[in-house]
Structure 1
């Protein structure tokens, strides 16, 4: 059997099968709300400008500088997101392209979370040619730390996906009822930080919830890749508060999301 695979994440009215992420947090505070979509689009525009008339690019694997509890599969996800954004701007991926984009990323580690640092993803990028000569260091964002330039993401919904958050945060409705206002990004970040330090998952038979009262459940089904018949529910287990399921080699798995509430929800994988 393969190593256990993390399951479901729930935040607001989103049911998320998370990416994961790395560690290390930049020392200076982030200003404003910076979304993954906005940062990637801004970076892609700078890449396109720096490439002048070129229309293809090789995007190297995103390097995780963290290698911690929260590092993992976020790199491939970031790469695909950037690749699709560039494609929409007329820049296509090509392994033989003369322009090569390199990138490194990091997010909070456990010590940073315990210190109450803001949750953020930082990406450092560079553009090179085939002979390894640096053509330009991309300046995707207006945040400067010494001589280096970074792209930063800090919104709660994006960081939930990136860091593999499993739990609940104050919803808009709860904030209006309890606080008579919209919850701010820092409030949700604090709640997420505590949830990452002390994760809690709940099992309901073969289904997983982020809390005992949650109206949303996720079920993982699996079957052998070449086997006939439909996939069957796989029994999850809890490890230090996190739900896991075992998936073997050459197995195909499906994610089934149950919405037992009276509201419309959204699910993304």
Structure 2
């Protein structure tokens, strides 16, 4: 019977796992390299800073997963961008990625106290690509988009950007919350990812509060433009009609015209 483990045995970090947890961790990663170490060991390098190692011994086969992110580095973030489909139209994928970029830019500009830039640019061009307001170091980078499972592996250069995309998913998508939290929980045993798991879990408890974005705009034309942009981005990201409960709920959490706004913008690392 096969044995499933996490962590490097040679570093004294090995932990017992099981098939379900092992599959949860490796799903969405793609093989990007391989090495044959002889009769009893082979390795497959994976996207998302991971590696599968297969060991043979008289006792049977051992499948071992190790994370290759150094402890002082920002880990990649794996987000399922399409649910359950094996093949999707290219335009569907493009729409959802563009919507993620827009929503992330809005949340990140708010969390870094630069939301005034949104009003200024929307008054000039309501269709402006808001991600262009970010510095290159603040952008979300795509390392891999795994076929079949449709997990996209995102990477950011800054902790604040990583924090912002976690909060974006927590606010925008209830289904995304569950999937991402499950992934973070599974991977928390590999490295110092408990921080990300706790941060995400704590923030999801506050989604009844909104960011209060409408309170940050002073003109009716800017508010109208922001409403339209947010609703369209949510419709494209969630792949649901604008009058659906999910879109309307996420819209309220972002704009929050009447409720109490969530104001804690400090990452707790």
Report the TM-score, using the length of structure 2 for normalisation. 0.26
More strand per residue: 1
More helix per residue: 2
